């Protein structure tokens, strides 16, 4: 994903499909889609998506770049791979959705009002990067406060009962964050990955 996304001033960007084909992982298989609907019908959280994968693919074909990249479909995908496994044309649906999400983030399409999962992904990654593990409290707090101080407090209070219940059930711990040993090795791994990515 090195080429710059084509700039557009129109609602319909007819070069968008070609750009996706050439720059998004699995995008070259997207033209095999026959619009059967198995991906969207199989999606366990399909009801939480505005478009679902099948419609997203059609919108890419139609050149609806803005709508595709600001869609909740890209962020609500849980990567269960059911769509990919079931696709009768063998299209790597999950990879394409993830690839489009990466483009959306890079291009500044991730609107926090619409795609809050983008902030959850960021909070998750922050925890994984910092501790080598996810800390359920810190990830949640970081996620809540990415919407601002007031909204953060509001969300935290609204979820207090669940949090206390989880503590009681032993599903959330109190004390120091979980962390791995030898964090320096983790940092080295991440640095290497970043280096490889920048090389393309």
Partner 1 sequence: MAQDGPQSQTIAVIGGGIAGVTAALEAAETGYDVILIEKEPALGGRVTRLNRYFPKFCHPTCGLEINYQRLRKNPRVKVLTMHEVTAVEGEKGAYVITARRLPRFVNEKCTACGECGKVCETEIDDPYNYGLGKVKAARLPHEHAFPMRYVIDAAVKGTDDEGRIAEACQYGAVDFSEEEEEVTLNAGAVIWATGWRPYDATRLETYHYADSPDIINNVEMERLANHDGPTGGKVVRPSDGEPAKKVALIQCAGSRDVNHLPYCSMICCLASLKHAAYVLEQYEDAEVHMYYIDIRAHDKMQTFYERIKVDPRIKFIKSKPAEIHPGADGRPVVKGERTIDRELYEESYDLVVLATGMEPSAKDISASGDVVKDEDGFVLAIESGDGGQVSCGVAAGPFDVALSTQSGTAAALKAIQAVGAR
Applying CB under 8 A, which residues contact partner 1?
Answer: 34-38, 40-42, 46-47, 51-52, 54-55, 86, 88-90
**Distance between the two ends of the chain, CA-based, in angstroms?**
7
Instruction: Please give the structure tokens belonging to residue 42.
Output: 């199989």
* Of residues 59 and 139, the one with the C-beta less far from partner 1: 59
- What's phi and psi for 168, nearest 5 deg? -60, -40
Instruction: Report the residue number, 46 or 63, with the smaller CB distance to partner 1.
Output: 46
Residue with tokens 């960007």: 13
Whole-number minimum distance, CB 94 to partner 1, in Å?
15
CB 74 within 8 A of CB 55: no
Closest CB to partner 1 among 31 and 121? 31
Using CA atoms, how far apart are residues 3 and 107, in angstroms rounded to an integer? 12
* Closest separation in Å from C-beta 135 to partner 1: 35
Nearest distance in Å: CB 13, partner 1: 22
Smallest distance from partner 1 to CB 147, Å: 29
Which residue lies nearer to partner 1 by CB, 48 or 136? 48
Answer yes or no: are the C-beta atoms of 142 and 126 closer than 8 Å. yes
Q: Measuring CA to CA, which residue among 1, 199, 4 is closest to residue 101?
A: 1
Cα separation, 171 vs 43, in Å, equals 27
Nearest CA-CA partner of 44 in 80, 2, 93: 80
Q: How far is the CB of 71 from partner 1 (least distance, A)?
A: 12
Q: Which is nearer to partner 1, 87 or 104 (CB)?
A: 87
CA–CA gap between residue 58 and residue 87 (Å, rounded): 15
- 62 versus 141: smaller Cβ distance to partner 1: 62
Angle in degrees, CA 167, 124, 127, rounded to 5 = 80
Q: How far is the CB of 117 from partner 1 (least distance, A)?
A: 20
């Amino acid at each position: 994903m090195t080429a710059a996304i084509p700039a557009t001033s129109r609602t319909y960007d007819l070069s968008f499909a070609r750009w996706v084909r050439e720059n998004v992982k699995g995008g070259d298989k997207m033209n095999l889609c026959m619009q059967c609907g198995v991906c969207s019908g199989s999606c366990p959280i399909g009801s939480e998506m505005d478009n679902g994968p099948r419609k997203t693919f059609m919108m890419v074909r139609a050149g609806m770049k803005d709508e595709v990249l600001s869609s909740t479909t890209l962020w609500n995908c849980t990567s269960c791979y059911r769509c990919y496994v079931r696709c009768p044309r063998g299209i790597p649906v999950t990879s394409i959705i993830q690839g489009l999400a990466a483009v959306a983030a890079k291009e500044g399409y991730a609107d926090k009002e619409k795609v809050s999962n983008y902030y959850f992904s960021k909070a998750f990654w922050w925890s994984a990067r910092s501790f080598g593990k996810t800390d359920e409290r810190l990830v949640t707090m970081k996620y809540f406060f990415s919407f601002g101080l007031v909204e953060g407090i509001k969300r935290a209070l609204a979820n207090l009962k669940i949090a206390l219940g989880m503590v009681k059930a032993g599903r959330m711990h109190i004390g120091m964050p979980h962390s791995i040993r030898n964090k320096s090795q983790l940092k080295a791994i991440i640095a290497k990955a970043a280096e490889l990515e920048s090389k393309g």
